[in-house]
């Protein structure tokens, strides 16, 4: 029997679901050997064990305004003890209301500011047609993950060290089809050119790690591989999909039917390495 998952009725609820899904994804990356998770009453801290900024983070911070400055120093110190590749995520669930300003005053810099988006899957209808020459396959073995790594390297512009760290984070779990994080690769005339991921967490589908290599962009391939992830979410009984959009991806997600529900910002102590 299909289990009906979380369905939210307002943009504010969808924004909260995105924050929670993202936090669960960070915990998942940090749950493998060499990772570390610290859950406190006012913040979630995750160290993945690999040097990739996107998955070493403070999230869901809800700090007491009277204690916030000291707590910011403590939280930043915990992360800095483990890596210089970390960030602090600020979404609509974060507090106090001026947390972003307090992070800046503490010496952090803003490294990203992107739309948080959502789509009600009960109203979503896939168009079914793939662009000419395109095939889409789930990543189910080492060969598929090698193709995924090359797409991520070229699509995100990663250097060698970042590529290897990102690959390590995804190689550790193996290929159990029941894992909450699942990846797809789209190929054009047999060459891998795009990828997308689905994370099943907090009762919703999180869409992550979508990218297309430069020469294959604006052909509908990114949209097609994202749709493959959404179809999997629907088949699993999920009712809402959420994501944080890049500038390149925003028009793609709007055409798929996603709507803006929040802003997602991140802060760090150093300028970010490319695409990390």
List, for residues 207-246, the tens digit of each pLDDT value. Answer: 999 999 999 999 999 999 999 999 999 999 999 999 999 9
Confidence (pLDDT) at 2 = 42
Instruction: Kindly provide the b/e burial profile for residues 187-219, where b requires at least 16 CB atoms within 10 angstroms of the residue's own CB.
Output: bbeeebbbbbbbbbbbbbbbbbbbbbbeebbeb
What token pair was written down for 209?
A: 């790690």
Q: What is the mean pLDDT of residues 187-200?
A: 98
Confidence (pLDDT) at 271 = 59
Confidence (pLDDT) at 273 = 55
Confidence (pLDDT) at 127 = 80
The answer, yes or no, to whether residue 109 has pLDDT greater than 80, is: yes
Confidence (pLDDT) at 126 = 87
d(CA 225, CA 248): 15
**Which residue carries 């529900």 as its tokens?**
261
Taking the CB of residue 47, how many other CB atoms lie within 10 A of it? 22
Confidence (pLDDT) at 238 = 97
129 — pLDDT class (breaks 50, 70, 90): confident
DSSP per-residue letters across 105-171: HTT-EEEEEEEEEEEEGGG-----PPPTTEEEEE--SHHHHHHHHHHHHHHHT--HHHHHHHHHHHH
- Kindly report, residue by residue over 24-42, the tens digit of the pLDDT: 999 999 999 999 999 999 9
Confidence (pLDDT) at 226 = 98
């Amino acid at each position: 029997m299909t289990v009906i998952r979380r369905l939210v009725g307002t943009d504010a609820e969808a924004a909260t679901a995105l924050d929670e899904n993202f936090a669960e994804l960070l915990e998942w990356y940090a749950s493998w050997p060499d990772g570390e998770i610290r859950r406190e009453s006012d913040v979630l801290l995750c160290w993945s064990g690999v040097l990739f900024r996107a998955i070493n983070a403070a999230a869901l911070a809800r700090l007491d305004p009277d204690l916030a400055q000291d707590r910011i120093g403590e939280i930043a110190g915990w992360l800095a003890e483990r890596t210089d590749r970390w960030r602090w995520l600020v979404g609509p669930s974060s507090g106090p209301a001026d947390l972003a300003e307090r992070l800046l005053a503490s010496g952090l810099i803003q490294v990203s500011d992107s739309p948080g988006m959502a789509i009600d899957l009960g109203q979503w209808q896939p168009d079914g047609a793939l662009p000419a020459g395109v095939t889409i396959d789930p990543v189910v073995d080492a060969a598929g993950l090698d193709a995924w790594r090359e797409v991520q390297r070229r699509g995100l512009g990663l250097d060698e060290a970042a590529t290897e760290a990102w690959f390590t984070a995804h190689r550790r779990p193996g290929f159990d089809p029941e894992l909450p994080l699942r990846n797809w690769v789209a190929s054009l005339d047999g060459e891998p050119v795009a990828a997308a991921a689905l994370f099943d967490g907090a009762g919703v589908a999180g869409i992550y790690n979508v990218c297309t290599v430069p020469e294959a962009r604006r052909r509908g391939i990114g949209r097609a591989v994202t749709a493959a992830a959404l179809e999997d979410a629907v088949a699993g009984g999920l009712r809402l999909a959420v994501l944080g959009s890049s500038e390149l991806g925003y028009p793609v997600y709007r055409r798929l039917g996603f709507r803006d529900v929040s802003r997602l910002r991140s802060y760090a102590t150093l300028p970010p390495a490319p695409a990390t």
